[in-house]
């Protein structure tokens, strides 16, 4: 089976020009089939504020009304996606920028209103693995914005960690999939105030316990929930690491960051 590296880059790195440039160089050097999924929540919040819109997050998910949907479509699908694609082209990586609507890649449905109305937030219904494979086989590197679409023709806002995990497990029957979450810390920490307290190997029971103790919190919870689902669904290897450690993590000889297991 061919190997594919699925790499997610978070909004705190994208918001830092120098960190992004360093990451793009490392990403461009990852050998074999690869795919990038980016966030950009921090930039969307800043631009929304400039337009007089206040961001509202619940459990790490953005409440996305019509105006916010317009902002995130512009920011994720336009500004952030195209800057990353151009940056990769400059490093010799033939990237192609996509949202879930492009090539019918990731279909979703508007999240049903339960206790909270998330507005135009999309829950993924189907990933077009054939379409993604055909891009990889053409030696293109897909770069996905965290946007999906529905059958009524509306764009939807989907959490980037969820998008990365869902694409990863949807490709797991065709490829050996490695999923790497890159962010601004060295891994999952046993002490959130100590950046060097990286947990090298995190099992699901350990995660449950640290979550209960409040040691794992905020955006790390949806990230890990998605990641453990991806492991259960056949993704071979999942690592959470600092964006600067990408190269170390993909060359399997050295251990860095946090490796997940069930």
Ligand X SMILES: Nc1ncnc2c1ncn2[C@@H]1O[C@H](COP(=O)(O)OP(=O)(O)O)[C@@H](O)[C@H]1O
Ligand Y SMILES: CC(=O)N[C@@H](CCC(=O)OP(=O)(O)O)C(=O)O
62 is known to lie in a ligand binding site: yes
Question: Tokens 């023709």 correspond to what residue?
Answer: 153
Residues 4, 44, 98, 136: which binds ligand Y (CB under 6 A)? 44
Q: Which is nearer to ligand X, 23 or 149 (CB)?
A: 23
- Answer yes or no whether residue 257 interacts with ligand X by CB under 6 A: no
Strand partners, 203: 261
The CA-based dihedral angle spanning residues 189, 81, 34, 136, taken in that order and rounded to the nearest 10 degrees: 160
Which of the choices ligand X, ligand Y, none does residue 61 contact, using the CB cut-off of 5 to 8 A by kind?
Answer: ligand Y
- Answer yes or no whether residue 77 interacts with ligand Y by CB under 6 A: no
Which of the choices ligand X, ligand Y, none does residue 188 contact, using the CB cut-off of 5 to 8 A by kind?
Answer: ligand X
Interior angle at CA 25, CA 22 and CA 26, nearest 5: 90
Binding to ligand Y (CB under 6 A) within 129-158 occurs at: 146, 157-158
- 140: number of Cβ within 10 Å: 17
- Answer yes or no whether residue 230 interacts with ligand Y by CB under 6 A: no
41 is known to lie in a ligand binding site: yes
x-marked contacts with ligand Y along 178-217 as a string, rule CB under 6 A: ----------------------------------------
Closest distance to ligand X from the beta carbon of 153 (Å) = 28
| Phi, psi dihedral angles at 82 (to 5 degrees) | -75, -35
232 is known to lie in a ligand binding site: no
Which of the choices ligand X, ligand Y, none does residue 46 contact, using the CB cut-off of 5 to 8 A by kind?
Answer: none
CB 115 within 8 A of CB 58: no
Closest-CA residue to 144 (of 172, 166, 175): 166
Interior angle at CA 12, CA 161 and CA 212, nearest 5: 55
Q: Distance between CA 175 and CA 171 in Å, rounded?
A: 6
Q: Which is nearer to ligand X, 60 or 234 (CB)?
A: 60
Residues 35, 40, 210, 242: which binds ligand Y (CB under 6 A)? 40
Closest distance to ligand X from the beta carbon of 242 (Å) = 11
SS (H, E, C) 170-216: HCCCCCEEEEEEEECCCCCECCCCCCCCECCEEEHHHHHHHHHCCCC
x-marked contacts with ligand X along 47-76 as a string, rule CB under 6 A: -------------x----------------
Closest distance to ligand Y from the beta carbon of 50 (Å) = 16
Q: Distance between CA 192 and CA 190 in Å, rounded?
A: 6
CB 108 within 8 A of CB 150: yes
Query: Which residues sit at the interface with ligand X, rule CB under 6 A?
Result: 10-12, 39, 60, 183, 185, 188-189, 192, 215-220, 223
Query: Which residues sit at the interface with ligand Y, rule CB under 6 A?
Result: 10-11, 39-41, 44, 61-62, 72, 121, 146, 157-160
């Amino acid at each position: 089976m061919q190997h594919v590296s699925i790499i997610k880059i978070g909004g705190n790195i994208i918001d830092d020009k120098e960190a992004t440039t360093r990451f793009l160089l490392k990403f461009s050097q990852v050998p074999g089939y690869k795919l990038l999924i980016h966030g950009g929540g921090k930039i969307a919040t800043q631009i929304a504020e400039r337009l007089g819109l206040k961001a509202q997050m619940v459990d790490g998910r953005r409440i996305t009304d019509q105006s916010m949907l317009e902002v995130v479509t512009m920011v994720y699908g336009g500004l952030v996606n195209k800057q990353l694609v151009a940056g990769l082209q400059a490093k010799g990586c033939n990237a192609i920028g996509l949202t879930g609507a492009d090539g019918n890649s990731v279909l979703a449905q508007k999240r049903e209103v339960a206790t909270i109305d998330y507005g135009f937030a999309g829950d993924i219904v189907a990933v077009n693995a054939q379409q993604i494979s055909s891009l990889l086989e053409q030696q293109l590197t897909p770069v996905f914005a965290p946007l999906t679409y529905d059958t009524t023709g509306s764009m939807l806002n989907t959490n980037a960690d969820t998008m990365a995990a869902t694409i990863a497990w949807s490709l797991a029957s065709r490829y050996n999939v490695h999923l790497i979450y890159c962010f601004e810390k060295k891994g999952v920490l046993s002490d959130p105030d100590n950046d060097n307290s990286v947990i090298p190997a995190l099992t699901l029971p350990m995660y449950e316990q640290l979550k209960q103790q409040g040691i794992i919190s905020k955006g790390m919870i949806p990230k890990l929930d998605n990641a453990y689902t991806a492991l259960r669904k056949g993704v071979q290897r999942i690592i959470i690491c600092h964006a600067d450690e990408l190269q170390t993590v993909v060359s399997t000889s050295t251990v860095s960051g946090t490796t997940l297991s069930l």
